[in-house]
Amino acid sequence: MTLDLGFLLGQFLAALASASALFLVASGLSIIFGVTRIVNFAHGSFYMLGAYLGYTITEALPTGVLGFWGGTLVAALAVGVIGAAIEIVVLRRIYRSPELFQLVATFAIVLIIQDATLYVWGPVERLGPRAPGLDGAVQILGEYVPEYDLALIAIGPVVLGLIWLVFHRTRWGVLVRAATEDREMVGALGVNQSWLFTTVFFLGSALAGLGGALQVPRESVSLLMDLNIIAEVFVVVVIGGMGSVLGAYVAALLIALFNAFGILILPEISLAVPFIVMAVVLIARPWGLFGRPESGEHQQALSEEPLRPLGLARRAAILAGVAGLAGLAFLGGRYGVVLATDIVIVSLFAASLHFMMGLGGMASFGHAAYFGISAYAAAFLATYAGLSMLPAMLLAPVAAMLAAAFFGWFCVRSTGVYLAMLTLAAAQIVWSVVFQASEITGGDDGILGVWPDKWAKSREVYFLLTLAIGAMALVTLQRIAHAPFGYVLRAARDNRLRAEAVGVDTRNHQWAAFVVSGVFAGIAGVLFVFAKGSIFPDELAIPRSFDALLMVLLGGVQSVFGPLLGAASFTYVRDEISRLEYWRFIFGILIILVVILAPDGIAGGLQRLWRWIAARAGFRRVTPDKAEGA
């Protein structure tokens, strides 16, 4: 390999161009988060929309320099308008919901935009024209450098400069910065908050749209663009420090350089590079390069009800749930059994996430790692070590426990969204190792033939086994929640300072909760692998983690039944509608309806509905319950 100066320069310039593209999208996300504190997963969708609109508009306009750049700008503005509209129609209604609940809505928007794009542009990817006037390459030190790359290299810092000007030279910009520093202050300044949020959404989305439109000359426009970029953009924003635009630029540069030079040294780890960089940065600087600690106070605006031991009504509800599952399994035809088995497994997985999230106050974006590690461990034990099913089931969660202990140790050193991003990094690193180590794990061919022992081979027997193990695990989780450990964990979540002041090592308790949560996710994982007979890297990838997150949030973080309700309805409804052609669109709309109608999750919504009915019917509650939903 010739590593002369020209070559290194060429690689450096390529990295700079990639960094610009990444920065445009990341800066928008960072600004949106800084002001609204919304973790906007739809940002990748805005980027994709920008690309499609850029493609269509530049095709429609007369070819030429003006047509291309004009079309690109129009596309960016159009995406800005779409973003602002989404803010007004959906997000504005849920700013008062619990932390991260908005994330569910943005995830629904991802689904809706996916199918809307599919409907408008069709499934086939589009290759746009090269940029007029910039369609060649120039030679620098003997290296070909595309002219368009040079333009991109310039655009990044120019946009950075423009944002800086807007932020420092306009009243609006000053407000945005003030809101980023301290959200409470905006209210105190007497600013119209909705107006500020809408305009911020406009700017952030327009930047994503610009990033997408500028990508048209570099790659074909496809439906995969949204999910392909979103993880990396989050990495950039987190490394830079959420809310910091300069940080986003520096981080984009860092990631692009690691990508460009990492590929030369170790081509195999290209998948994990950004996540490794993020993990290292966050361990050294828990709030990113340019970020500040979150002012923890606003997160504690919980008015959660105390955990009560299960009363008669709730016991009855549990029995009804179990009976419903059994009914589905044995009366719903052969597929009913399969669906009921899935629901039990997914409920346990969601409950395990709820344990660390609801009780421990630690949201995880990478919980699938422990589900998957345990499933793989069981698959190894069953195939390589030749263990029979039950011993494999018993041993495999130990692997999840060890992994959770290892990664959890790093994660609990951070808090809030940063902690969540560390869990994501951990999961992505695990995923890329599993994906890459195809000699052992089969790569994305997965491990096949992990079927139950003969006695449990029938779907019905396996369902009963799953139900028994799942119910035992759920009861155990409940017990732990009501044990001293669960109480102290909630105390640490409620008020870390207070807990430390009564002798509680809060970090250690969170770490232990992380491990407990990992073990139960692992139990769900082993049940899963024998139910499906196979395991693939998908099971530890981001979508699986997000499914669980959605179930917990949709169900209701503040209720122990939340995750179970969320898991059951999520699995059942998705299964029912996924036969329809544009089911993602429908699913997204359904999620948004839940989000708006029941901002405290399905559990909270049902509770309120029940109270409403009870009040109507003239029942009187024995003890007045003042804590209406959040």
CA 270 to chain centre: 21
Show the DSSP H helices in 223-287 as ranges: 225-240, 245-265, 273-284
The residue behind tokens 């990044």 is: 156
Interface with another protein, residue 486, by CB under 8 A: yes
- Each residue 417-436 as x (binds another protein by CB under 8 A) or -, in order, gives ------------------xx
What Cα–Cα distance (Å) separates residue 222 from each residue in 213, 562, 614? Answer: 12, 36, 51
**Which one of 97-105, 138-146, 173-181, 348-356 is the stretch in contact with another protein (CB under 8 A)?**
138-146
Interface with another protein, residue 96, by CB under 8 A: no
User: In angstroms, rounded to a whole number, what is the distance separating the alpha carbons of residues 494 and 515?
Assistant: 20
Q: Which of residues 547-576 bind another protein (CB under 8 A)?
A: 575
Neighbours of 170 (CB within 10 A): 11
| CA atoms 234, 237, 238, 239: torsion sign | positive
Q: Which of residues 141-200 bind another protein (CB under 8 A)?
A: 143-146, 149
CB of 33: closest distance to another protein in angstroms?
A: 24
CB of 617: closest distance to another protein in angstroms?
A: 26
* Residue whose C-alpha is closest to residue 90's, from 242, 197, 193, 237: 197
User: In angstroms, rounded to a whole number, what is the distance separating the alpha carbons of residues 245 and 291?
Assistant: 10
- What is the number of residues in the chain? 630
Q: Please say which residue, 83 or 416, places its beta carbon nearer to another protein.
A: 416
Interface with another protein, residue 218, by CB under 8 A: yes
User: In angstroms, rounded to a whole number, what is the distance separating the alpha carbons of residues 45 and 37?
Assistant: 18
Interface with another protein, residue 125, by CB under 8 A: yes
What Cα–Cα distance (Å) separates residue 458 from each residue in 341, 422, 463, 530? Answer: 12, 40, 9, 12
CB of 587: closest distance to another protein in angstroms?
A: 12
User: In angstroms, rounded to a whole number, what is the distance separating the alpha carbons of residues 232 and 19?
Assistant: 11
**Three-state DSSP class for residue 592:** helix
CB of 68: closest distance to another protein in angstroms?
A: 16
Identify the bridge partners of residue 87 per DSSP, sorted by sequence position: none
Q: Please say which residue, 387 or 448, places its beta carbon nearer to another protein.
A: 448
User: In angstroms, rounded to a whole number, what is the distance separating the alpha carbons of residues 61 and 423?
Assistant: 45
Interface with another protein, residue 126, by CB under 8 A: yes
**Which one of 64-72, 391-399, 422-430, 478-486 is the stretch in contact with another protein (CB under 8 A)?**
478-486
Q: Please say which residue, 181 or 445, places its beta carbon nearer to another protein.
A: 445
Q: Which of residues 515-544 bind another protein (CB under 8 A)?
A: 516, 532-536, 538-539
User: In angstroms, rounded to a whole number, what is the distance separating the alpha carbons of residues 323 and 571?
Assistant: 18
**Which one of 51-59, 68-76, 167-175, 447-455 is the stretch in contact with another protein (CB under 8 A)?**
447-455
Q: Please say which residue, 168 or 457, places its beta carbon nearer to another protein.
A: 457
List the one residue from 167, 177, 191, 270 that touches another protein (CB under 8 A).
Answer: 270
Identify the bridge partners of residue 145 per DSSP, sorted by sequence position: 138
Q: Please say which residue, 304 or 453, places its beta carbon nearer to another protein.
A: 304
Long-range Cβ contact pairs of 432-436 (< 8 A, separation 24 or more): 432/269, 432/271, 432/272, 432/275, 433/272, 434/372, 434/376, 434/537, 434/540, 435/271, 435/537, 436/268, 436/269, 436/271, 436/272
Q: Please say which residue, 199 or 270, places its beta carbon nearer to another protein.
A: 270
User: In angstroms, rounded to a whole number, what is the distance separating the alpha carbons of residues 60 and 270?
Assistant: 37
Q: Hey, what are 434's tokens?
A: 């599993």
Q: Please say which residue, 32 or 350, places its beta carbon nearer to another protein.
A: 350
Q: Which of residues 368-407 bind another protein (CB under 8 A)?
A: none
Contact 212, 48 (CB under 8 A): yes
Q: How many residues bind another protein (CB under 8 A)?
A: 106
Interface with another protein, residue 621, by CB under 8 A: no
**Which one of 83-91, 396-404, 420-428, 448-456 is the stretch in contact with another protein (CB under 8 A)?**
448-456
CB of 493: closest distance to another protein in angstroms?
A: 8
Interface with another protein, residue 311, by CB under 8 A: no
What Cα–Cα distance (Å) separates residue 497 from each residue in 264, 446, 485, 501? Answer: 47, 46, 17, 6
CB of 79: closest distance to another protein in angstroms?
A: 20
CB of 342: closest distance to another protein in angstroms?
A: 7
List the one residue from 95, 167, 485, 572 that touches another protein (CB under 8 A).
Answer: 485
List the one residue from 88, 271, 387, 390 that touches another protein (CB under 8 A).
Answer: 271
Q: Which of residues 59-88 bind another protein (CB under 8 A)?
A: none
Q: Which of residues 9-38 bind another protein (CB under 8 A)?
A: 10-11, 14-15, 17-18
**Which one of 49-57, 327-335, 397-405, 588-596 is the stretch in contact with another protein (CB under 8 A)?**
327-335
List the one residue from 51, 113, 329, 338 that touches another protein (CB under 8 A).
Answer: 338
Q: Hey, what are 358's tokens?
A: 């609801």
- DSSP at 447: E
